Structure formats: C-alpha cells, structure tokens
C-alpha cells in the first residue's frame, strides 16, 4: 500500500516510523510533501524516503493519504487539489471537523483519526471517528494502519474533543509530570537521567497496573498509601493544593480550544 503524507512534521514522522517498523508498508512506498523545500530535503536525507515537490504529487502517488498539516492550513492546502474518489484520506488534525473536510472530500472517502506521540513506540491510543458512509474495506484499512502503532477505538465525532484531551494531548501532561518528579529528585542529588528513568518506569508500571487490574485508580491510591506512611502525605498535600482541580481545568481548556478551532 502506498502511503502519502501531506505535512511531515512531528505527528506524520511518528506515524510513518511506526508503519515502517511494523512492516505495514516499506520506505519505498511512503511519500510526503512539506511547506518548505529545506524541510523536505532534510527529511529525505535523514529518513531515506521520497519527498515530492507538490501536494498533488502525494495524492497521485499514494493509495492512502494522511493529512498532517496544522488545522489552519487545511483550506489553503486542500482547495487546489484534485483528489479522486477512490483514494482514502485520513485527517489527523484536531479542530478540522467532518463538515469542514466535506467541503473538499466525498463523504465516503475519509476518516478523522486522532493518534498520539506514543505511536513512536507502538503505544498510541488512537481514536477513529465513526463514518458510516465508508465501506468495510476502507474501515479495515484505517483500523489496520493505526492498530500497527498502538490501540484503536472508534468513537462518535462529538467525543473527539474530550478524547484529544484524554489521549491526544495528555502525553504532554504526563511528560511534564515525569520531568517534574525527576527534577525534584535532582534537588536531592540524583542525576537527571537516572531520576527520569525511574520516574518514567513508575508511570509506565502505574498505567499497566490500571490496565490489568480490576481495581479502580481510586482504590489503588489507598493500596499505596500505608496508614501513617509517606504516600498519604503527598496525596493530601496535592489535594490541598488543588492538583485535581488543575487537571480538570486543563481538560476544560483543551476541550474549549478544540471547540474554538472546530468553529473557525
């Protein structure tokens, strides 16, 4: 399957890397375009894949086209293109609604998909927005592509804003938490590298425990918090200083921003 990317920044590179590593496609079958020649040439040199000179050339070369530009670039990019109806188009952009995509694409040829940066390690949590107009073969293609880079869930479009907060953007929050935990240990003399590895493994294990245990996170907090012990000091301190409130506000801000982008 030839896969084309329009826009080849952080997200597109992450997806392409996952698809090549998982042998869903081969380097020779990946094509991309960027805004600037410099970025295209640099990526070609570093990645050994084919950059093409125009966005139309991506459409012409690929069976599946992944739109991975910034949301505000969509109209400008899609307007001049001729996209045959048999090509499957996947948009990974936040804030570019189905209604917006249908200004440029047929109802039965596209999916909105929201992966996350953890696709780098085949651990994305990806949402595919349900589209009842596409056929089962296209659905299978999109599911196969994104299952290669992690977990996949089908959701209605109304839930995408909150999904972005929960999974598309949340890696940044978790990275902030890992970095802050590690930095706090540096204060006590541990090296940043060691502290980061330790904090990352603790976070990785905690996610795995939640996944694999029938116990809720709330009950797991109690299991770690020995009576009169150390953990409960932190939990109560975080509760007093508004940790949960800050996270709730952060989710609200992300949903608000996605709605704002979607209404533009």
Ligand X SMILES: NC(=O)C1=CN([C@@H]2O[C@H](COP(=O)(O)OP(=O)(O)OC[C@H]3O[C@@H](n4cnc5c(N)ncnc54)[C@H](OP(=O)(O)O)[C@@H]3O)[C@@H](O)[C@H]2O)C=CC1
Q: Is 254 in the site for ligand X (CB under 6 A)?
A: no
Cα–Cα distance, 87 to 109 (Å, whole number): 7
- Choose, by CB under 6 A, the member of 68, 146, 168, 262 that binds ligand A1CAB: 168
Q: Is 68 in the site for ligand A1CAB (CB under 6 A)?
A: no
Residues in the chain: 264
Binding-site partner at residue 109 among ligand A1CAB, ligand X, none, CB < 5 to 8 Å by type: none
Under a CB-based contact definition with an 8 Å cutoff, are residues 160 and 112 in contact? yes
Shortest gap between Cβ of 4 and ligand A1CAB (angstroms)?
21
Q: Is 115 in the site for ligand A1CAB (CB under 6 A)?
A: no
- Choose, by CB under 6 A, the member of 4, 18, 150, 168 that binds ligand X: 168
**Residue-by-residue DSSP string for 136-187:** HHHHHHHHHHHHTTEEEEEE-GGGHHHHIIIIISHHHHHHHHHHHHHHHHHT
Shortest gap between Cβ of 147 and ligand X (angstroms)?
17
**Footprint of ligand X on residues 175-204 (CB under 6 A)?**
none
Question: What token pair was written down for 50?
Answer: 């084919």
CA 220 vs CA 205, 206, 217, 238: distances in Å: 13, 9, 5, 16
Q: Is 162 in the site for ligand X (CB under 6 A)?
A: no
Binding site for ligand X (CB under 6 A): 6-12, 33-36, 39, 55, 68-71, 73, 76-77, 92-94, 114-117, 168
């Amino acid at each position: 399957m030839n896969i084309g990317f329009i826009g080849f920044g952080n997200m597109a590179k992450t997806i392409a890397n996952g698809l090549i590593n998982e042998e869903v496609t081969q380097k020779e079958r990946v094509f991309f375009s960027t805004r600037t020649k410099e970025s295209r040439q640099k990526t070609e040199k570093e990645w050994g894949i084919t950059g093409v000179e125009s966005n139309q050339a991506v459409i012409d070369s690929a069976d599946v086209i992944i739109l991975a530009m910034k949301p505000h670039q969509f109209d400008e990019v899609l307007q001049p293109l001729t996209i045959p109806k048999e090509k499957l188009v996947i948009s990974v952009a936040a804030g570019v609604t189905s209604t917006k995509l249908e200004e440029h694409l047929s109802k039965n040829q596209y999916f909105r998909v929201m992966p996350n940066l953890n696709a780098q390690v085949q651990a994305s949590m990806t949402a595919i927005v349900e589209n009842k107009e596409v056929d089962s073969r296209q659905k299978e293609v999109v599911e196969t592509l994104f299952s290669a880079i992690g977990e996949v869930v089908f959701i209605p479009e109304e839930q995408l804003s909150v999904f972005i907060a929960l999974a598309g953007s949340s890696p940044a929050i978790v990275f902030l938490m890992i970095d802050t935990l590690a930095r706090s240990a540096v204060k006590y003399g541990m090296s940043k590298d060691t502290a980061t590895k330790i904090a990352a493994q603790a976070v990785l294990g905690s996610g795995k425990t939640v996944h694999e245990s029938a116990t809720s996170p709330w009950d797991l907090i109690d299991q770690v918090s020995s009576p009169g012990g150390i953990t409960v000091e932190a939990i109560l301190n975080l509760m007093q200083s508004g940790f949960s409130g800050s996270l709730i506000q952060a989710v609200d801000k992300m949903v608000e921003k996605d709605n704002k982008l979607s209404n533009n």
